[in-house]
Amino acid sequence: MHSYKTSRICPREINVEVTDGVIESVSFSGGCDGNLKALSKLVEGRTVDEIAPLLEHNDCKGRGTSCAAQMVAALREAQRAG
């Protein structure tokens, strides 16, 4: 499990698990519980490379980032860490 500290979004932390590029699990600490659980379900079982282009540039309220964008950052960081 890889923990990612967020900034400029509601969740404080994103916990992800990536095995051989496949997203095993995603969970958020804080934020919009129902929406983030749904987002997690939609990406689990897919590859990081598959979902990254779809979500990495999403913006929330002019913050220059979003929960989805930072989830991609967390997934990429976990993938690099092995």
Q: What is the pLDDT of residues 21-39, one digit of tens each?
A: 999 999 999 999 999 999 9
Judge whether residue 52 has pLDDT over 90.
yes
CA-to-CA dists, residue 74 to 9, 33, 81, angstroms: 13, 18, 11
- The domain tally of the chain equals 1
Q: If you average pLDDT over every residue of the chain, what do you get?
A: 97
Q: Are 48 and 18 in contact (CB under 8 A)?
A: yes
Record the pTM.
0.94
What is the CATH classification number for the domain harbouring 30?
3.90.1010
Residue-number span of the structural domain to which 48 is assigned = 2-81
